[in-house]
Amino acid sequence: MSIWETIIFSLIKILIIVHVMLITVSYLVYFERKISAWAQNRLGPNRVGWKGLLQPFADVLKLLLKEDIVPNQANKPIHTLAPLLALFVAFTTYAVIPFGPDLKIFGYTIPLVVADINVGILYVLALTSLGVYAITFAGWSSGSKYSLLGGIRSSAQMISYEISMGFSIGGVLLLSQSLRPEAIVASQSGWMWNAILQPIGFITFLVSAFAETNRLPFDLPEAEPELVGGFHTEYSSMKFAGFFLAEYANMIIASALIVTLYLGGWQFPYLETFGLPYGWYVAISVLTFLFKEALLLFFFIWVRWSLPRFRYDQLMNLGWKVMFPLSLLNIVWVAGLIMIFKI
């Protein structure tokens, strides 16, 4: 393909992913409310549209019509920048996640990934580490001690769990011998999923993903009973919606990362041996990726409505005294597998 064709196809993929993520985030909120209602034996949203299916649109309209209030003591430029930074991190991270094999159509071969770069995993880690700045900026710029406490808690929490997350990925990189997400997916053909070969790394990464996305039982930055509302106490209207949107977008990205790194990515075990037409092979592969991601999103929501929040000392002890040593142990385990079985 020429450079202009590559740019056009990349823009089309970006537009598709952004719109799909926006719709998915809206309905992820709806399904979270429905699943929480199921867990607590109540109905959940059921007034706007059939079975409440139009509730996400009503929520967006309500937030659009609300007044945007900025405290007098706030640093207004940083106060505005914080939710934009959170959204930027949430939406750009998905660029390197492959969600299917190459699509062949009208004589073109189109990779089902926005940016297939050799250092894709480093790109993801670099961008996700920026997420802490959005929350810290929000807490500091609000001019409120409650928001500031939420921002400080967040910076300590996210830095602590980023370390165990990074070391957990180390085992994946040893097995695949690549930083490229496509190569990591290819290395898990059949049932050679990293979750099976290195369950310790899978568990530490999964737990770290909960902490990185500020989900229960790790939502200390938002601890409503203690900090009123955490880092976003002084936000309203669409700025608050920006943080809300970023949290659920981060859930989608965390689920996609777990699928890519540990659950075989878009691969359906031994699907290529069935002799299906290539179009069916691509469609089933994409649906496989989406199905795995949907299961993980359900797990994220299920855990939120099943477990109580940790105390702050418990959270930090878990991060440094349990998760960090286990992630190092996982690297030793994978290195041993490679040396003994020549994987």
d(CA 200, CA 336): 14
Of 128, 129, 127, 153, the residue nearest 139 (C-alpha): 153
Is residue 45 included in any domain, yes or no?
Answer: no
pLDDT score of 227: 57
| CA-to-CA separations, 53 to 34, 47, 163, 292, 296, in angstroms, rounded | 10, 9, 40, 23, 22
Is position 6 within any domain?
no
Token pair listed for 49: 């549209």
Ramachandran quadrant class, 190 (left: phi over 0; alpha: psi -120 to 50; beta: rest): left
Identify whether 15 is part of a domain.
no
Report yes or no on 19 lying in a domain. no
Cβ–Cβ contacts within 10 Å for residue 145, how many?
11
Residue 250 belongs to domain spanning: 71-341
Inside any domain, residue 55: no
- Give the per-residue pLDDT at 331: 92
Q: Which residues, in sequence order, are CB contacts of 171 under 8 Å at separation 6+?
A: 194, 198, 201, 330, 331, 333, 334
Q: Is residue 319 part of a domain?
A: yes
Q: Please report whether residue 298 resides in a domain.
A: yes
Task: Report the distance separating Cα 190 and Cα 187, nearest Å.
Answer: 9
Other CB atoms within a 10 A radius of the CB of residue 312 amount to 14
User: 332-335 long-range CB contacts below 8 Å, 24 or more apart?
Assistant: 333/171, 333/198, 333/200, 333/201, 334/170, 334/171, 334/174, 334/175, 334/197, 334/198, 334/201, 335/174
What averages of pLDDT result for each successive group of 10 residues across the chain (343 residues)?
A: 75 84 88 90 88 89 88 89 89 87 80 85 87 87 84 82 89 90 89 91 92 80 64 86 88 92 90 84 92 94 86 86 92 90 72
Domain count, the chain: 1
Within a domain: residue 261?
Answer: yes
Dihedral angle over CA of 49, 53, 56, 62, nearest 10? 10
